[in-house]
Chains A and B, each alone.
Chain A
Amino acid sequence: MKKNKIILMTTVCALLIFWSACNKKEQAVAPPLPGNEPLTTMLLKATNTTDPTDTPSASWIELDPTGALPPDTTHATLNLKKGAVYNVAIKLLDTLTDITPEIQARENYHLFCFDVATGLNLTCVQTDKDTNTPALPIGLTDLFTAGNISSGGLEVTLHHQPNVKNGTCAPGSIDLEAFFTVRIH
């Protein structure tokens, strides 16, 4: 009888030890990948909705991602006509490569935001939508409405909002920040 109990207890203990040893959480981390090229250039290409020959554009270039060297703002001025409405397309470059399709593919967690300086009579509205539910704005295509004659700064930011995109500019981080001057004639 004693022998029976020993056999039984040994077996039960072995099973319990085996069970506790095998029940553990699995965890893994995907670390940052080296050599991610920074975004360097933002292009704004506007088309007047009533005059297709009126196609002003502007570019903002920052080749030094550390910010030690100042950005190239030679062509960073956008000239718009008073009272006109423009379809605007934004293009992004990574040194020489066009990154716009990549942003399009990752539209569900990217958003362009516009900060218009006080005194500049301009309104900017994103016209494209992503495939989130509900659909949220992206900003690769926009509608710029120029008001009265004025000029001032326009800050365009590309926000990276992984799983936190909600249609506002607040969540996430900024992938690229570009500063333009807008003149309404």
Chain B
Amino acid sequence: MKKISAGLLAITIIIVTSNLAKAQDTKSADSPTKWVIGITGGISSPSGNFTKTDYDNGLSGFAGSGYNMGITSTWFIKKRFGITVLASYHHYSYQGIQNIANGFHEAFDVDSASATTRSSNHSINILVGPAYSLPVSTKFSFDFRVLAGIVDATLAGWDVVLTDANITHPALTQNASHATTFGMQAGAAIKYNITKQWAVLLNGDYFYSKPNFSIVNIDRNANAGREITNYNQSIAGINGNLTLAYYFKRK
């Protein structure tokens, strides 16, 4: 694995260095562009406590891999340097709902327990920051960006219905909760210019935010079973995206 990584790195360095000088003279990739707008989408893979599914662990966030999509726009102040704005939506799957059902089944010693998610784990992000484009050939360039801004996140909740001796009891509910916080995203992309006005980018980004959720629980009449009133764990991971970009005012 290390050998493959080292090989790929070496090839990349060779391509970059050999094309860098040539790229200085090219027009298509390095020509002045005022404004680029793009639609982006791909997979989001979070990590850490947010993805744990242990019923007894209050830090478990029960989030799985998901997707993200958004609109990105870069205004080039200089030839290669610009300001990027990204408005995106991140959605993470809910994993471990069976653990929730099993946990309440055991905690209340009932015949059966049924768990259903409420809302979903997701966030809406408005981020802004510097971007840098490094052309390596007439068609290819490496784009870098570091973004920061506002993240409005939602933590999914659930309803659990307990059934015992043929009696179905009212649902115990953990409401979905919202929190707004600071967030950041940083990454790089390989850009390929399809035409003079269209390009595709293969992005890899690290994202991070740490919202502080206050959780409302409903119909908790007994001190039994999982009950958290606060969740303050980082939502961090990797995005792998494909972006379709459109150039305005390319000369």
A residues adjacent to B (C-beta < 8 A): 4, 7-8, 11-12, 14-15, 18-19, 22-23, 25-32, 106, 108-109, 130-133, 160-166, 172-174
| Closest beta carbon of chain A to B229's beta carbon, Å | 13
| Closest beta carbon of chain B to A144's beta carbon, Å | 27
Bitwise, B205-222 to A at CB < 8 A (1) or not (0) is: 000000000000001111
A160 CA / B172 CA spacing, docked (Å): 17
B residues adjacent to A (C-beta < 8 A): 39, 41, 66-67, 69, 91, 93-94, 97-98, 100-102, 104-106, 108-117, 120, 162, 164-165, 167, 169-170, 172, 197-198, 219-225, 244, 246
Q: Are B108 and A162 in contact (CB under 8 A)?
A: yes
Q: Are B41 and A18 in contact (CB under 8 A)?
A: yes
Contacts of B219 in A (CB 8 A): 163
B243 and chain A: residue at smallest CB distance: A11
Q: Are A28 and B67 in contact (CB under 8 A)?
A: no
Q: Are A162 and B162 in contact (CB under 8 A)?
A: yes
Q: Are B109 and A162 in contact (CB under 8 A)?
A: yes
| Closest beta carbon of chain A to B18's beta carbon, Å | 31
Contacts of B120 in A (CB 8 A): 23
Please report the number of residue pairs spanning A and B whose Cβ atoms sit closer than 8 angstroms. Answer: 115
| Closest beta carbon of chain A to B9's beta carbon, Å | 32
A25 CA / B100 CA spacing, docked (Å): 14
A131 and chain B: residue at smallest CB distance: B223
Q: Are A32 and B223 in contact (CB under 8 A)?
A: no
Q: Are B94 and A26 in contact (CB under 8 A)?
A: yes
Q: Are A28 and B222 in contact (CB under 8 A)?
A: no
Known: A27-B116, A30-B98. A173 touches B197 (CB 8 A): no
Q: Are B98 and A162 in contact (CB under 8 A)?
A: no
Contacts of B69 in A (CB 8 A): 15, 18-19
Q: Are B169 and A29 in contact (CB under 8 A)?
A: no
Among A25, A166, A173, contact of B164 (Cβ-Cβ < 8 Å): A173
Q: What are 12 residue pairs bridging A and B, where the CB atoms are less than 8 Å apart in the complex? A: A4-B197, A4-B246, A7-B244, A11-B244, A23-B91, A25-B116, A29-B115, A31-B112, A106-B109, A162-B108, A162-B109, A172-B164
Q: Are B222 and A132 in contact (CB under 8 A)?
A: yes
Contacts of A31 in B (CB 8 A): 112
Q: Are B117 and A27 in contact (CB under 8 A)?
A: yes
| Closest beta carbon of chain A to B107's beta carbon, Å | 9
A130 CA / B225 CA spacing, docked (Å): 15
Residue of B98, B197, B219, B222 with most partner-chain A CB within 10 A: B222
| Closest beta carbon of chain B to A34's beta carbon, Å | 11
Q: Are B109 and A163 in contact (CB under 8 A)?
A: no
Q: Are B39 and A162 in contact (CB under 8 A)?
A: no
Among A18, A27, A164, contact of B67 (Cβ-Cβ < 8 Å): A18
Q: Are B197 and A162 in contact (CB under 8 A)?
A: no
| Closest beta carbon of chain B to A117's beta carbon, Å | 26
Q: Are A32 and B91 in contact (CB under 8 A)?
A: no
B242 and chain A: residue at smallest CB distance: A11
A14 CA / B41 CA spacing, docked (Å): 10
Known: A11-B39, A26-B94, A28-B101. A164 touches B221 (CB 8 A): yes
| Closest beta carbon of chain B to A120's beta carbon, Å | 29
A106 CA / B223 CA spacing, docked (Å): 10
